[in-house]
Amino acid sequence: MTHAVTPGGDGMVLHLVTRVIHWLTVMMLVGSFAIVWSIGWLPAGPARVQAVGLHRTIGMLVLVVTVLRLLWWLASQRTPRIGMSPWRWAAGVVHTALLCSLLITPLLGWTYTNARGHTLLLFGIRLPSLIFKDRYFARVAIETHEFMAYALLTLISAHVAAALWHHFVLHDATLKRMWRG
Ligand code: HEM
Ligand code: HEM
């Protein structure tokens, strides 16, 4: 995948929108995982219900931001890369897989919520149901949701390792560009 560029850019400039969405997504994922992993330590009752609610809201924001990111990608000018190296290609595959997981994981969480018979509310707005109430589908949805969340973590690990490799071993500007443009 090539990058969003500033109008008239050379394809290597990472636009502010791309960078803001990138680091916002990172923060929301940290929050989402931290909440869901701490649920077990909370006393059963309203605290847990609130924590799951917060996990849902943050997860839905990840979905919204990822849809915006894809629209931004479609609307951006991009220059085709000629003679892409295998590493560039691998980075593109990982980026595409990350974006797909960022769509699929929250959609499965949404499906699970509906299959359990609940309507999803986002800041008071009722969202349409993706599926009818069904115990079997609810189980499949939550198990796939969990699987996708861990697939996402695996991709993130490879991605972060690559970013750190660029920064500390190759000493190039890949990470600095994601930070400063
Ligand atoms: C990218 C976004 C998301 C990530 C990374 C994520 C990740 C996770 C993880 C790791 C779990 C724990 C599974 C387990 O080990 O039991 C989980 C559970 C859950 N997720 Fe998500 N999730 C996301 C978005 C959503 C969304 C959008 C919803 C609903 C609208 C949702 C609803 C739930 C629910 C209801 C549970 C079960 C919580 C419980 O009762 O323990 N998730 N999620
Ligand atoms: C935690 C979740 C993360 C996700 C989901 C994610 C996702 C992505 C995606 C999809 C891209 C492609 C550009 C774009 O479309 O925005 C990208 C680029 C990049 N990310 Fe991340 N990222 C994450 C975390 C990180 C972290 C923690 C670092 C730094 C240690 C990092 C460093 C970079 C760099 C340097 C690039 C530019 C790579 C290049 O120029 O080819 N990312 N990331």
Task: Check pLDDT > 70 for residue 10.
Answer: no
Parse the chain into domains and list their residue ranges: 16-180
Ligand 1 and 36: CB distance under 6 A: yes
Helix axes 135-164, 86-115, angle to 10 degrees: 150
Ligand 1 and 110: CB distance under 6 A: yes
DSSP string, 5-73: --TT--S-PPPHHHHHHHHHHHHHHHHHHHHHHHGGGSPTTHHHHHHHHHHHHHHHHHHHHHHHHHHHH
Ligand 1 and 55: CB distance under 6 A: yes
**Degrees, nearest 5: CA angle 3-158-21:** 40
CA distances from 43 to 37, 46, 99 (A): 14, 8, 34
What tokens appear for 44 in the block? 């059963």
CB 159 within 8 A of CB 98: yes
Q: Is 122 helix (H, G, I), strand (E, B) or coil?
A: strand
Mean pLDDT of 94-109: 98
pLDDT score at 60: 98
pLDDT score at 181: 76
- Closest residue by Cα to atom 39, ligand 1, is 52
- Closest residue by Cα to atom 30, ligand 1, is 110
What is the model's pTM? Answer: 0.92
Ligand 1 and 3: CB distance under 6 A: no
Task: Check pLDDT > 90 for residue 127.
Answer: yes
- Closest residue by Cα to atom 2, ligand 1, is 59
Q: What is the pLDDT of residues 23-65, one digit of tens each?
A: 999 999 999 999 999 999 999 999 999 999 999 999 999 999 9
| N residues, the chain | 181
Q: What is the pLDDT of residues 147-162, one digit of tens each?
A: 999 999 999 999 999 9
Ligand 1 and 61: CB distance under 6 A: no
Q: Which residue in this structure is represented by tokens 């390792």?
A: 161
CATH homologous superfamily, domain 16-180: Transmembrane di-heme cytochromes, Chain C (1.20.950.20)
pLDDT score at 12: 54
